[in-house]
Structure 1
Amino acid sequence: MLLRLAYLAATNAFALLRLLPMSDRDKGIKILALRHQLLVLQHQVSKPSFTDTDRVILVGLLHHLPIDKLRHLLLLVGPDTILR
């Protein structure tokens, strides 16, 4: 599990480095495309299964956001699940 967490942290760090040279317009388009893909997945998958590592990463990314912002995000899990 620790190895998986290290791998995910490294891949996310590289993903962040790829975003740095992108313009705000390009980032916006990428976000919209990702949101659309999430909508498609939500219609196809009844209940996603997350590993403990997946949960840690989600909480690490989202725990600083206020609850009202969390409620407006398009997520595969509910904001109350993140807060628990």
Structure 2
Amino acid sequence: MALVSQSEFARRNGWSRQYVSKLVRQGRITLENGKVNETVALQALKADGEPSTVLRQTAPAKPMQPPVTAPVPTEGRSAVDYLTARTMREAYR
């Protein structure tokens, strides 16, 4: 049971002192003799946290897609479809 000041609690967790004060005002963290019980406060924040935060932190990495290569220009004067022509134009730019 480690009792620390609000500013020390904020520093240890990488938050601002104002954010910890806001959590105390909201009642998400309770003080004991003007100090924060670090273990109890962290458990309370974890229990009261938004469930989607956990999903964002553990989201799997997106699979790598092979790079898109420009199509090779056609030989001669044969017709080229619109998509190929547009891709060739953008690659040239």
TM-score, normalised by the number of residues in structure 2? 0.24
Which structure is larger by alpha-carbon Rg, 1 or 2?
Answer: 2
Tell me: higher relative CO, structure 1 or 2? Use CA pairs within 8 A at least 6 residues apart.
1
